[in-house]
Amino acid sequence: MIQGFATAEGTAAYRARVGASAVPEHFRSWRGLTLSSVGIGTYLGAEDDPTDRAYREAVTRALEIGINVVDSAVNYRHQRSERAIGAALRALVAAGGARREEVVVATKGGFIPYDGAMPPNPGAYLAETYVQPGIVRPEDVVGGCHCLAPRFLADQLERSRANLGVETLDVYYLHNPEMQLPAVDRPTFLARMRQAFEFLEGAVSAGTIRLYGTATWNGYRQPPAAPDSLSLEELVRLAAEVAGEAHHCRVIQLPYNLGMTEAFTTATQRAGRDTVTPLEAAERFGLYVMGSASIYQGQLARGLPEVVGRFLPGLQTDAQRALQFARSTPGIGSALVGMKGVAHVEENGRLAAVPPVPWEEFRKLFQAA
């Protein structure tokens, strides 16, 4: 395994080494780290060798041109995305093209993954791999695919560390915890989250992760009355109950793009006596925000209205404009975009040389819409 983790000195050195052509605003400073405003995601794609090679090449190129935030999940492409990232990191570190201390590596656990491909009998695979060895109890599994039990998370964390080939993960997310809510009541859900946070704080102490958080799809964007809504305030309070104010629940991920603006526009969260947007709540609670689906899994890569180009000038493609919108939004730390090929990396990486849109110009887009 590659030892180490992202450090203040390493990420600052990365910025100095590869960021000569980047504008200062391309990088964000947070808790001493220097993170690129664009991150590479690894969700989509076929479960085959050509896609593995494409992701290895994409991650390699991203790290070469100023993108040092890499995001995955153990279930993405049945563990193949993590393994492709691991292969790229090993090759780069071995060749002296990157140092572990320069790169922020994030992954997720919660969905029960297959191993490389869909098994002929998924139920039998679940039973043989997870239930019979005692890694999960049937009553801990929701929807046949999701689990937050500490013993399961311990297994998943070790799988991710092995797949990625790193001793320590910079960020480990509980993946879509709102998946639990249709199946269990709120007290049971919170008890499960408490146990998960206790495990993750232990993983921090053991040196296998640095920070943790929640990567969600619907949870934080839903009205509080929605059955699967999540309260940032409640979960941050829970982390503080587990580990005090120095807890390590410090990062969230949620979708944000031109077609899904709720994180910035919709007040779904409580913060003390106020009702605020998810991005405002995250700022108040000291959380870094990774925006996912920045180009809506490719749906915003073409055919954007002319008004978008008018308020997001100086760019060549709609994919760049959609990504510029996401990373220019106040409160978004790093905008993640899936890039399973060098051409995508080159296209999106050009934003490193373009400043984010200033607030006075950015808000005109909403006024025009």
- Residue 312: which pLDDT band, with cuts at 50, 70 and 90? confident
Could you tell me if residue 1 is inside a domain? no
pLDDT (tens digit, 9 = 90+) per residue, 69-114?
Answer: 999 999 999 999 999 999 999 999 999 999 999 999 999 999 999 9
Could you tell me if residue 178 is inside a domain? yes
CA 137 – CA 78 distance, rounded (Å): 21
Could you tell me if residue 217 is inside a domain? yes
Residue 278 pLDDT > 70, yes or no?
yes
pLDDT (tens digit, 9 = 90+) per residue, 143-163?
Answer: 999 999 999 999 999 999 999
- Average pLDDT (18-25) is 87
- Average pLDDT (117-129) is 95
Q: Quick one: pLDDT at residue 128?
A: 96
Within the chain, where are the H helices? 8-18, 49-65, 80-95, 122-126, 150-164, 186-206, 232-243, 262-265, 278-284, 306-311, 318-328, 342-349, 359-368
CA 35 – CA 14 distance, rounded (Å): 10
Count of domains observed in the chain? 1
Residue 19 pLDDT > 80, yes or no?
no
- Range in 6-20, 47-61, 183-197, 232-246 with the lowest mean pLDDT: 6-20
Kindly tell me the number of DSSP H helices and DSSP E strands found in the chain: 13, 12
Residue 368 pLDDT > 80, yes or no?
no
Q: Residue 302 is part of a domain; what is its CATH number?
A: 3.20.20.100
Residue 139 pLDDT > 80, yes or no?
yes
**What's the chain's average pLDDT?**
95
Q: Is the sign of the CA dihedral 24, 286, 81, 154 positive or negative? A: positive
- Residue 273: which pLDDT band, with cuts at 50, 70 and 90? very high
- Range in 157-166, 282-291, 309-318 with the lowest mean pLDDT: 309-318
CA 70 – CA 192 distance, rounded (Å): 28
pLDDT (tens digit, 9 = 90+) per residue, 245-272?
Answer: 999 999 999 999 999 999 999 999 999 9
52 SS3 class: helix
Residue 363 pLDDT > 90, yes or no?
no
Compute CA distances 347 → 206, 316, 341, whole Å: 39, 9, 10
Chain Cα centroid distance, residue 59: 15
Q: Quick one: pLDDT at residue 369?
A: 62
- Average pLDDT (205-225) is 96
Could you tell me if residue 3 is inside a domain? no
Q: Is the pTM of the predicted complex or chain greater than 0.95?
A: yes
Residue of 302 and 178 predicted with greater confidence: 178
- Average pLDDT (208-215) is 98
Could you tell me if residue 138 is inside a domain? yes
Q: Quick one: pLDDT at residue 308?
A: 86
- Structural domain boundaries, residue 131: 8-368
CA 209 – CA 157 distance, rounded (Å): 9
Residue 293 pLDDT > 70, yes or no?
yes
Q: Quick one: pLDDT at residue 367?
A: 75
Could you tell me if residue 259 is inside a domain? yes
Residue 167 pLDDT > 80, yes or no?
yes
CA 341 – CA 323 distance, rounded (Å): 17
Residue 56 pLDDT > 70, yes or no?
yes
Could you tell me if residue 119 is inside a domain? yes
- Residue 309: which pLDDT band, with cuts at 50, 70 and 90? confident
175 SS3 class: strand
CA 5 – CA 166 distance, rounded (Å): 8
Could you tell me if residue 2 is inside a domain? no
